[in-house]
């Protein structure tokens, strides 16, 4: 396999290169799904269901291409971030916050915090919305690994999913949350849920007849296996993708590899013929569920790349996409454009008198592809791996188009015309460029979408951060993303008044087991030095990917998963979120409730319940360091019993073993075997 190296010293870019090589080898060998042993405990039960109706196919062209439209009476304009949140988000928030009260109360009551009348507390707090806990969920990048592991967490947090509101269950956390953010693979998860009318993970996993949604057993390079969505074979699949991208060119707009990647993604994530080419991200705001505050506020994240450069640093501008706006609170851009009109003829923040308005540029798959553009090069390099299934003329045509786009821009999404052209020229490095280049939201190492959620204007109290990053040699997280966000907060010019709790080094994370269990950061408000007008950052509940019932450390670039392996990884995320439905810690649900209440208790001057003090002692990082490098990180299973333990194939990992009733499950290099203990 690969040469041994420190789990904390493998650089993200070197690891990315290794994964590319590995994934290419997997593709060429035709393998990708590994063996699965017995059913993990507790299961995420399967029940009959069908996908809900989709969001709105409201592109004015009726297809993938954007189209020029008549401008509204009051022309759209760039909004300065100095004004805080948009009028639309500001108006929506009270609706959502009120809708979170009942599910939050139900969740907190089930937590049963001893000697604390949670019903009286919430009833008093709801008279002043600012006193209520404000919850956000963040799902990291990491390809399908992140989608599936994050799906397990969201399934556990969703009261609509079977077996989530019983003993040890955290069902209702999703319904009680105000914000739900994702990037890259986590953005696919968030995007897919909202594209399909806020369907539950359970519903998406179960699917419906003729739908290719979440059918990952058919590689994205080969296209969907089902014929019910008008695709009969790989050749016609790629031919349709190319035609849709070409329609954008015919309409007068530039394309990038992201157009092809986003179109291919959509077949797997959006339950519509040809992956819903006419669906737009801004249409979420027009859905009844969203308007009535029955869903959280979705945010996808991408990074800006300065013109003429290829390096992404922590000083890069972080852009967010919401149903209302796209833009950044960073002091570089410090402005927002209406998502619906993102490709209109803006100049210096306004549309000239004779300027045109454009709709449909925020095509749903293109926005998801923008947040995950790291995969563009993977698409470019591996399209020929399916040559046996695709006629040569199709492969040659697609690779020719992709290659013509240029190797120096193979990881970008082109937003042209640049909506921020001429905007904030003193600080905006792209102000004089007609093209805005956006890249994968994790390329600055902030692989968890926290920047939008720590903005003081959003007043978030607690963030549940699901980390499926591949930071170690064998693709487990060591909180590189948290350290990147913390380090960025120390750069006053780019941090712009945001604060972030301190986090330890990679070796400490591994040595203290902080990447094997939930950990709270920023527990003590008094530890933050606040300037005038500043507020404490949210309490951060870190939920790392770890092997509870499955070896979920599959490669970021593994393109193919059997239904059994998909389900195993989802269950593993479910077990991570619930600590095995409380079997690993029967106080976990109480501690989740205490984390939710923490900032609210401080804000209202309410004494911390004794049980919560115990939770904070157990789960808060107390500043202890253990910086000795102890070699490769190779965890074993956290849950198993005398009869059953689950394993799924990983792209690369070392040897792990777990005694089970006289047997040892040995996993090495993706091979699984059972050996009798002598």
For residues 649 and 666, give the distance between their C-alpha atoms in angstroms, rounded to a whole number: 11
22 part of a folded domain: yes
Domain of residue 309, residue span: 12-32+52-619
671-676 β-sheet, strand order: 656-660, 663-668, 671-676
CB atoms < 10 A from the CB of 560, how many?
20
pTM across the whole model = 0.88
Number of domains within the chain: 1
Q: Round to whole Å and give the CA distance between 342 and 66.
A: 10
User: How far is the C-alpha of 467 from the C-alpha of 651, rounded, in Å?
Assistant: 18
Structure tokens at 160: 């609509």
- Quick check: is 671 in a domain? no
Contact residues for 228 (Cβ-Cβ < 8 A; gap 6+): 209, 210, 211
Residue 3 has pLDDT above 90, yes or no: no
Q: Is residue 550 part of a domain?
A: yes
pLDDT digits (tens, 9 = 90+) for 107-165: 999 999 999 999 999 999 988 888 899 999 999 999 999 999 999 999 999 999 999 99
The set of residues, in sequence order, having a beta carbon less than 8 Å from that of 613 and lying 6+ positions away, is none
The beta-carbon contacts of 348-353 under 8 Å, at least 24 apart in sequence, are 348/421, 348/422, 348/423, 349/77, 349/78, 349/422, 349/423, 350/75, 350/77, 350/78, 351/71, 351/75, 351/76, 351/77
Q: What is the mean pLDDT of the chain?
A: 84
Distance of CA 247 to the CA centre of its chain: 29
Say if 649 falls within a structural domain. Answer: no
Higher pLDDT, 524 or 34: 524
pLDDT (tens digit, 9 = 90+) per residue, 237-252? 888 888 999 999 999 9
- With respect to residue 678, please indicate whether it lies within any of the assigned structural domains: no
Helices (H) and strands (E) in the chain, counts: 18, 17
The answer as to whether 355 is a domain residue is yes
CB 570 within 8 A of CB 148: yes
Contact in structure between 67 and 277 (CB atoms under 8 Å) = no
d(CA 142, CA 150): 10
Domain-embedded: residue 633:
no
Identify the residue with better confidence: 308 or 574.
574
- Kindly indicate the confidence band of residue 226, based on its pLDDT and cuts at 50, 70 and 90: low
Helix (H, G, I), strand (E, B) or coil at 467: strand
What confidence tens digit (pLDDT) does each residue in 363-402 have? Answer: 999 999 999 887 666 666 666 666 566 667 666 766 676 6
The two tokens of residue 1 are 């396999």
Which residues sit opposite 394 in a β-bridge?
A: none
The CATH number covering residue 401 comes to 3.40.1090.10
The answer to whether residue 670 is domain-embedded is no
Question: With contact defined as beta carbons under 8 Å apart, do 81 and 335 qualify?
Answer: yes
């Amino acid at each position: 396999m690969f040469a041994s190296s420190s789990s904390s010293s493998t650089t993200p870019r070197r690891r990315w290169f290794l994964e590319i090589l590995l994934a290419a080898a997997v593709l060429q060998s035709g393998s990708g799904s590994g063996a699965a042993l017995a059913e993990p405990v507790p299961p995420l039960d399967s029940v009959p269901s069908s996908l809900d109706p989709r969001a709105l196919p409201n592109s004015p062209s009726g297809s993938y291409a954007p189209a020029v439209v008549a401008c509204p009476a009051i022309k759209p304009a760039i909004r300065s971030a100095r004004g805080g949140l948009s009028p639309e988000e500001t108006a929506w928030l009270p609706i959502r916050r009120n809708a979170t009260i009942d599910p939050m109360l139900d969740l907190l009551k089930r937590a049963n915090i001893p000697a604390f009348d949670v019903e009286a507390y919430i009833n008093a707090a709801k008279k002043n919305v600012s006193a209520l806990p404000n919850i956000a969920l963040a799902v990291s990048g990491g390809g399908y690994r992140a989608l599936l592991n994050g799906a397990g967490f969201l399934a556990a947090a969703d009261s609509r999913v079977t077996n989530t509101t019983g003993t040890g269950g955290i069902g209702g956390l999703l319904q009680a949350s105000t914000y739900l953010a994702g990037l890259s693979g986590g953005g696919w998860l968030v995007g897919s849920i909202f594209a399909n009318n806020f369907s539950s993970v359970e519903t998406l996993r179960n699917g419906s007849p003729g739908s290719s949604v979440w059918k990952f057993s058919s590689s994205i390079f080969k296209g969907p296996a089902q014929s019910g969505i008008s695709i009969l074979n790989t050749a016609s699949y790629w031919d349709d993708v190319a035609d849709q991208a070409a329609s954008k060119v015919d309409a007068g707009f530039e394309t990038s590899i992201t157009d092809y990647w986003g179109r291919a993604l959509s077949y797997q994530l959006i339950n519509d013929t040809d992956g819903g080419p006419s669906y737009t991200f801004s249409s979420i705001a027009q859905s009844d569920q969203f308007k009535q505050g029955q869903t959280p506020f979705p945010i996808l994240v991408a990074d800006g790349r300065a013109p003429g450069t290829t390096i992404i640093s922590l000083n890069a501008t972080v852009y967010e996409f919401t149903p209302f706006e796209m833009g950044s609170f960073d002091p570089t851009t410090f402005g927002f454009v209406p998502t619906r009109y993102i490709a209109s003829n803006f100049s210096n923040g306004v549309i000239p008198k004779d300027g045109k308005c454009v709709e449909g540029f925020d095509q749903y798959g293109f926005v998801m592809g923008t947040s995950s553009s790291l995969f563009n090069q993977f698409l470019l390099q591996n399209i020929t791996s399916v040559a046996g299934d695709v006629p040569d003329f199709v492969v040659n045509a697609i690779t020719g188009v992709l290659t013509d786009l240029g190797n120096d821009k193979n990881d970008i999404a082109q937003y042209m015309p640049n909506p921020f052209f001429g905007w904030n020229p003193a600080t905006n490095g792209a102000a004089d460029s007609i093209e805005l280049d956006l890249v994968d939201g994790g390329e600055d190492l902030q692989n968890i979408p926290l920047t939008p959620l720590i903005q003081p204007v959003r007043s978030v109290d607690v963030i549940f951060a699901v980390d499926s990053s591949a930071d170690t040699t064998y693709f487990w997280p060591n909180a590189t993303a948290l350290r990147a966000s913390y380090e960025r907060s120390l750069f006053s010019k780019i941090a712009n008044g945001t604060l972030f709790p301190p986090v330890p080094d990679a070796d400490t994370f591994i040595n203290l087991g902080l990447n094997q269990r939930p950990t709270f950061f920023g527990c003590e408000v008094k530890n933050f030095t606040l300037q005038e007008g500043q507020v404490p950052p949210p309490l951060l509940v870190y939920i790392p990917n770890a092997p509870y019932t499955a070896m979920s450390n599959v490669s970021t670039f593994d393109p193919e998963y059997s239904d059994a392996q998909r389900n195993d990884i989802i269950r593993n995320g479910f077990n991570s979120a619930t600590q095995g439905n409380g079997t690993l810690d029967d106080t976990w649900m109480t501690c989740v409730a205490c984390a939710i209440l923490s900032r609210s208790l401080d804000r209202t001057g309410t004494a911390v319940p004794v049980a919560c003090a115990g939770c904070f002692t157990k789960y808060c990082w107390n500043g202890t360091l253990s910086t000795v490098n102890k070699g490769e990180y190779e965890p074993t299973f956290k849950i198993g019993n005398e009869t059953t333990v689950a394993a799924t194939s990983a792209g690369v990992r070392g040897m792990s073993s777990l005694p089970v009733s006289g047997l040892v499950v040995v996993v090495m290099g993706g091979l699984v075997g059972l050996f009798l203990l002598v």
